[in-house]
Amino acid sequence: MHKLLCLILVIGLIAGCSPAPVSDELVVAIPTDPDNFHPHQSVAAATAEIAYNIYEGLVKAAPDGSIIPALAAEWDISPDGLKYTFTLREGAKFHNGREVTADDAVYCLSRLANPEISPKSRDYTSVQTIEAKGNQVIITLTKPDAVFLALLTEFGASIYPREAEEQLSTKPIGTGPFVLTAWEPNNSLTLDKFEQYWNPQLPKLEKVTLKIIPEPTTMVNSLLTGHVDLVPRLEPDYLHQVEDQPDLQIIDSPMNLVQLMAINNSVPPFDDIRVRQALNYAVNRQEIIQGAGWGKGTAIGSNLTPAMGPWYIDLTDMYPYNPEKAKELLTEAGYPQGFSATLHLPAPYPLHRNAGEIIADQLEAVGIKLKLEVIEWGTWLEQVNANRDYELTVVGFTGRLDPHTMLNRYQSQSGRNISYFNNPEYDELLVQGLEETDPAARVEIYQQLQTILAQEASNVYIMDPSQIAVMSRDLKGWANYPVYVLDLAPLYRSK
């Protein structure tokens, strides 16, 4: 009996000294609520970031910017660039348990391309027919569209079961590695592992809780106290609070995000190019990068970033910081004493708010007095993004895989053209860029487009801020993307 008691005590001591089990749950801090989980209706990048884990399309983006299979195991493009044939992978299922069919893809993509149904249809005007043939989806275009495959990686092109159509805005059903099982608006979202996911190796976690924490201070405190495991996009002015923390790791990568002060080109005095040029000369990008971004960012001169590789052209020298030149242009335009205007700043994004405050000081030095209005994100999306009712605003335009989808927002009739930019030559070049099949010629076209935006002083382009991801040191599998997604599937803990 005595020996048995000793043995029990020894086993107990060994158990007590053994490492704690590795958790298969994760808590992630995000700053804003999703707007709408319907792929054809959502406009917020913050929603697409989360939806990457819930929905899938025929293809998807990889961390290196390439396009890889998702629900399509393979695809073929005809030599004339007009016919795309996608072969579905076997056994892929929706979160409701039903197997994915080619008819599902036809239904979703046909709705996406229908201008009477989807506001995103503007990107799919080249689609002529979408058909199902066995386990294949065949899409025929009216003309070559160099950006078409990249568009199919985006949230709008997600495939979902048609029977779930009416509930998707709040109860999404996709084929992704996680299922949304709970959503408490302005509080949290719960993602559970999808046990029937077509890739048996993913996801590695059983559960992810997304905590909505608008205030960066609270977000950082939650990280330091262990209540949050991951902050995917830490505001740079809080970086010093998490540096040198032994239990945390920091991963700094290019974000491929265009931060800009958008200008409503259609309202006085901003309908005068001299005024817009004056704004550009009056703004000191490096001061904003240091002051708002703590030095974590790269100056840009148009609506593309260096993360886009050969597509990018450096135009930062077109408007060097020159407040005296700004004053001269304002005088020429009839504003020798300057003028007043309103600058709208989105509440959930300190980087943009801080940049706006610095810009206000810089413009005041040349006689332009800005009234700063900080507005909630939902209000910004409706007033500025949808209704384009504003004068100036600071915001970020998220990166895409192909330059066309970043630059076509300036097409004169585009609903995404919040600047009301209007240039016939620009519109013509956009068409050429879609139809051009020679890669070198396409690069030249998109560099011309960037140059026109800069020459016309369409906006004040500021920087591509760094994406600063901060997480528990035991968290592995993080991957940075050139597009705005949060890939939770490969994440796991390792002691």
CA gap 248, 261 in Å, rounded? 34
| In the predicted structure, residue 13 carries a pLDDT above the cut 60 | no
Give which of 407, 326, 338, 402 is closest to 370, Cα–Cα: 338
CA gap 142, 124 in Å, rounded? 11
Q: Structure tokens of 399?
A: 């990166």
Of the given ranges (6-10, 102-106, 126-130, 368-372), which has the lowest mean pLDDT? 6-10
| In the predicted structure, residue 16 carries a pLDDT above the cut 80 | no
Q: CB burial class (10 A; 0-12, 13-18, 19+) of residue 383?
A: middle
Q: Structure tokens of 117?
A: 């149904």
Residue 470 has a CB neighbour count (10 Å cut-off) of 27
CA gap 169, 110 in Å, rounded? 18
Supply the pTM of this predicted model. 0.79
Buried b (16+ CB within 10 A) or exposed e, 247-266: ebbeeebbbbbbbbbbbbbe
Q: Where are the domains of the chain?
A: 25-30+171-254+467-493, 54-165, 257-466
Give which of 385, 401, 416, 386 is closest to 123, Cα–Cα: 416
Nearest-5° Cα angle at 39, 34 to 45: 45
Mean pLDDT, the chain, whole residue set: 93
Alpha-carbon distances of 270 from 92, 217, 265, rounded to whole Å: 52, 36, 5
Q: Structure tokens of 82?
A: 């007009």
Q: Structure tokens of 20?
A: 């704690």
**Can you identify the CATH homologous superfamily of domain 54-165?**
Dipeptide-binding Protein; Domain 1 (3.90.76.10)
- Mean pLDDT (whole number) for 137-152: 94
**Cβ pair 36, 42 in contact under 8 A:** yes
- Mean pLDDT (whole number) for 112-139: 94
| DSSP 8-state code for residue 382 | I
**Tell me, what's the pLDDT at 254?**
86
Residue pointed to by tokens 């009416």:
166
Q: Structure tokens of 193?
A: 């592992």
| In the predicted structure, residue 213 carries a pLDDT above the cut 90 | yes
Please provide the CATH number assigned to the domain covering 257-466: 3.10.105.10
DSSP string, 90-148: TT-B-TTSPBP-HHHHHHHHHHHT-TTT-GGGGGGTTEEEEEEETTEEEEEESS--TTH
- Mean pLDDT (whole number) for 256-272: 97
Give which of 279, 280, 293, 282 is closest to 354, Cα–Cα: 293
**Tell me, what's the pLDDT at 22?**
58
- Mean pLDDT (whole number) for 71-89: 96
In 326-390 the beta strands, taken as DSSP E runs, fall at: 339-346, 368-375
Q: Has domain 25-30+171-254+467-493 been given CATH number 3.40.50.720?
A: no
Q: CB burial class (10 A; 0-12, 13-18, 19+) of residue 1?
A: exposed
Of the given ranges (138-142, 163-167, 310-314, 399-403), which has the lowest mean pLDDT? 399-403
| In the predicted structure, residue 3 carries a pLDDT above the cut 70 | no
First to last CA, the chain: 38
Q: What percent of the chain has pLDDT over 90?
A: 84
CA gap 102, 83 in Å, rounded? 16
| In the predicted structure, residue 188 carries a pLDDT above the cut 80 | yes
Give which of 203, 343, 235, 198 is closest to 283, Cα–Cα: 343
CA gap 124, 67 in Å, rounded? 18
Q: What is the CA radius of gyration of the chain?
A: 25
C-alpha 284, offset from chain centre: 25
**Tell me, what's the pLDDT at 8?**
38
Of the given ranges (3-12, 210-219, 395-404), which has the lowest mean pLDDT? 3-12
Category of 294 on φ-ψ map: left (φ > 0), alpha (ψ -120 to 50) or beta: left
